[in-house]
Every structure is written in structure tokens, then in C-alpha cells.
Amino acid sequence: MNELIVFMCDGAPVRGEIVSISSAWQAVLERRNDPPAVRRILGDFVGAATLLSASLKFDGTLIIQAQSQGPISLLVVECKSDLTMRATVKLSVEHNAIDPDASLSDLLDAQNSGRLVITLDPADRQPGQPPYQGIVALQEHRGTVIKPVRSAAEAIALYMQNSEQLDTRIWLASSDTHVGGLLLQKLPDSGGHTQLDPQAATEGWNRIQALGETITNEELLNLPPETILRRLFLEESQENGVRSFPARSIQFACRCSRTKVADVLRMLGEQEVESILAEQGAVDSTCDFCGKAYHFDAVDCRQVFKTESLADATRPPSKGH
Ligand SMILES: [Zn+2]
């Protein structure tokens, strides 16, 4: 089961999503060797990335990056509009130094340095045009009191509130085999619900949220999205109607390639590559996302500097602004 469904409520200005990921999540984990507490947080962000990607009207790649001076120095989850995704984590401490019960707040130093950067990189972005970035601090300062963000769900809800101005609730759960998530979003009052007066709209949003709050981690991890939808909103669908759209599938896919590694070598420059060759006899690079190894011996490296990058050759010349 690697599925995401979108649903709309007729009796409330609410759009929702339910996601369930199993083999695509296992494909991420089998390439990695992260401590249990880190796996849980990575799983939550994988769920969050698919939910966010499906909720933004946007064609391109959504990148969630968490950075901190805590045990997790960097966490990256990428999800494209077609719901292919990949994920990686970098730790600043030894694996066995991480408490199995460590929280997001502990691992991403939410008391001090932790922050989340969410990047939307459009598929048709022109050279030189920067992608859109939103930053969420993982701590809220209220006077002298610092309130750390406790979960991935809370961090993403903060982002949606700040950048999209949309009331959003998210529930996430992850295990070593499954990731599950539920997203509820209050649509702007004019969003196709002109038949609802403001009071009915507010009541509808509160009613759907209250139903959402009854979701359990077990349900999110074990039930297919359609079953969760029917169970959670049974009464709502009998009285008002809840419509779901065809399920979309989620897949693990890495975008690394030998051509991209060759591009990196060109960026390093011939001199730098020659010095690596002199020291190590070859240039070896391993993809952080999928673990694939790329080996360039002296002959390969010489070839790299003899040929133009395929990507460069097909890209229109940069206008320099
Ligand atoms: Zn890769």
C-alpha cells in the first residue's frame, strides 16, 4: 500500500488527505542504517512531504530540510509532484549515542538551533531564478519562554499557517515498515462553499477537526486510506457527503546519475580532481539518498574534462540575472 487520497467535505469547508506508505518507505530504510529514534522522525517527515506536495498547487520538487546543531545535523526529504520521493539524514554523533526514545526536540535541538527550510523548486524554473523558500524555526519565543516544537506535524502546521495562510491540522505516524498521515485544511470561505454562512463554516471545520482527533497511530499505520476515511467520517458522510478522489501512488525514486556526478567533478575543477587522483588513484562518490556508488578512475576523469556536460549542452545559455 503506497497511496494518497484527497477528499472534500460537502458540509464543511474542508479539504483533506490521507496517506499510507509501506514498500516505498521500506525502500528508503533498506538503503540506510539509522537509529530507531531517527527513523521515526524521518518517517514522519516522509509522510509530511507527500501530504504537503499533494496539497500545494505546484509542479516541481518539494524539499523539506531540517538543520540543527543537535544529533541530527541535516535531514532532507524530497517529494516531486508525481509523488516520487527520497530521503536522507546526516548525524553529528555516533549511532549508539542516540537514545531510542529521543524526541524531535532532542534530535533537532529545538530549544536552540533547529530550523526547517521548505523549498518549492518549480519544474519550469529558469536558470538564475531562485526557488521559493520558507523557513520555520523549531522554537517559539514567547517573552523569555522558549517553547520547542514537539513534532514534525506541529512544524509543518506552523509552516502552512505562516506561508499559505491556511489553518491546517496534521497527524503523522511511522514505524519500521509503515508511514501514515492525515491532513485537514480549512478552505478559504469563498472556496466553493458559498452555501455555508461563516458560522456554519466555522462549525463545520471544528466538527471535522474533532473527528480527525479521534485518529490513532495504529489506524494510521495499519489501515488503507479509504478505510480510514470511511471510519473517521462515517457520520459526516451520511449526513453531508464526503467525496474522495482516485488514489495516487507513491514511489521511492532517486534522481542520482553518473552524469550528475560528472557535473560535480567539473564544478570541482580539473586541478582539484587531479589532486584527488594523485592521492587516491580514483574518485569515489556515494549517493546520500540511495547509497549507489560511483567510481571514476583516471581515464574516466580525463573523459569528464574532455566532454561538455549533456545537461549544459541542452540548457539555454544563462542570461546572467
Ligand atoms: Zn541516489
**Cα 88 to averaged position of ligand 1 atoms, centre (Å):** 10
The domains of the chain, with CATH numbers, are 2-252 (3.55.30.10), 258-314 (3.90.1280.10)
- Measured distance between the N- and C-terminal CA atoms of the chain, rounded to whole angstroms: 45
Residue 106 has pLDDT above 60, yes or no: yes
- Report the distance separating Cα 173 and Cα 25, nearest Å: 12
- Per residue in 201-257, pLDDT tens? 899 999 999 999 999 999 999 999 999 999 999 888 787 889 999 999 999 999 999
Contact predicate 35/89, CB 8 Å:
no
State residue 268 phi and psi, 5-degree precision. Answer: -65, -35
**281-287 contacts at long range (C-beta below 8 A, 24 or more positions apart):** 285/261, 287/254, 287/256
**Cα 272 to averaged position of ligand 1 atoms, centre (Å):** 23
Place of cell 531562485: 130
**Cα 285 to averaged position of ligand 1 atoms, centre (Å):** 11
Q: CA 120, 121, 122 angle in degrees (round to 5)?
A: 110
**Cα 37 to averaged position of ligand 1 atoms, centre (Å):** 23
**Cα 87 to averaged position of ligand 1 atoms, centre (Å):** 10
**Cα 86 to averaged position of ligand 1 atoms, centre (Å):** 8
**Cα 139 to averaged position of ligand 1 atoms, centre (Å):** 32
**Cα 41 to averaged position of ligand 1 atoms, centre (Å):** 21
**Cα 249 to averaged position of ligand 1 atoms, centre (Å):** 20
- Segment 147-155 mean pLDDT: 91
Q: Where are the beta strands (DSSP E) in 138-247?
A: 139-142, 145-148, 168-174, 179-186, 242-244
**Cα 212 to averaged position of ligand 1 atoms, centre (Å):** 36
State residue 223 phi and psi, 5-degree precision. Answer: -105, 145
Computed from CA positions of residues 262, 266, 272, 278, in that sequence, does the dihedral angle turn out positive or negative?
positive
- Per residue in 175-212, pLDDT tens? 999 999 999 999 986 555 557 788 888 999 999 999 99
**Cα 255 to averaged position of ligand 1 atoms, centre (Å):** 6
- Report the distance separating Cα 18 and Cα 143, nearest Å: 37
- Per residue in 35-80, pLDDT tens? 999 999 999 999 999 999 999 888 999 999 999 999 999 999 999 9
**Cα 126 to averaged position of ligand 1 atoms, centre (Å):** 24
**Cα 293 to averaged position of ligand 1 atoms, centre (Å):** 9
**Cα 225 to averaged position of ligand 1 atoms, centre (Å):** 29
State residue 171 phi and psi, 5-degree precision. Answer: -120, 135
Contact predicate 155/146, CB 8 Å:
no
pTM exceeds 0.85, yes or no: yes
